[in-house]
Amino acid sequence: MRILVVAVLAVAVASPAHADDTVAGTYDVKIEETASTCSPKPESFSKGKVQIAIKKSALTVKFDAIYQMVGTVDNHNHLDAKTAKLIGTAVGGLSARYSVVGHAGGGTIELALTARYIRQDTNKPYCMQMWNVSGELAK
């Protein structure tokens, strides 16, 4: 019986806890480009809103100008999400796959946003852009 109790406790400790409820919400953010291999640059962002939602263990991240990304959030409020498929861009001939990683909680958010562009005619990588995203819960 003692072994069974220890095994149940070990599984309970190893199971991921739910993220802090303060992760979900709409954030007013500043977006600063940090790197690019693109010339000319397909997209530019400066500020906007990011909506974070958590249902059960599924995380959704939605920027104003970018399609919804889906991923996970761990018990330390670390976020990891990406678009489910390639997304067409405003630049003719390019599609993109977007992803974010970072941390949210306590009313603030810090993310790294990456766009990997793919040529539609050859389906091969074209270039990449990265941004730092930071902000606070909208009031």
In a domain, 40, yes or no: yes
| Res. 89 pLDDT band, cuts 50 70 90 | confident
Residue 10 counted as domain residue: no
- Residue 126 neighbours by CB under 8 Å, 6+ apart: 38, 94, 117, 118, 119
In a domain, 9, yes or no: no
Q: Which domain holds residue 81?
A: 18-137
Q: What is the pLDDT of residue 20?
A: 45
Whether 1 is in a domain gets the answer no
15 or 57: which carries more pLDDT confidence? 57
Cα end-to-end distance, the chain, whole Å: 52
In a domain, 3, yes or no: no
Q: How far is CA 65 from the centre of its chain?
A: 14
Per-residue model confidence (pLDDT) at position 21: 55
Please tell me the total count of domains within the chain. 1
Between these two residues, 12 and 97, which has the higher pLDDT value? 97
CATH assignment at residue 37:
2.40.128
Apex CA 57: angle with CA 88 and CA 68, to 5°?
A: 15
| Residues 81 and 68: beta-carbon distance below 8 Å | no
Prediction pTM value = 0.80
Asked if pLDDT for residue 98 goes beyond 70, the answer is yes
Residue 19 has pLDDT above 50, yes or no: no
Q: What's the pLDDT tens digit per position in 29-74?
A: 999 999 999 988 888 888 899 999 998 878 999 998 788 999 999 8
The mean pLDDT of 73-84, rounded to a whole number, is 92
Residue 11 lies inside a defined structural domain of this protein: no
Give the pLDDT confidence score for residue 113 in this predicted structure. Answer: 96
Whether pLDDT at 109 is above 90: yes
Q: Is residue 87 part of a domain?
A: yes
Q: Is residue 13 part of a domain?
A: no
Sorted by sequence, the CB contacts under 8 Å of residue 99 that are 6+ apart come out as: 69, 80, 81, 82, 83, 113, 114, 116
42, 91 Cβ separation under 8 angstroms: yes
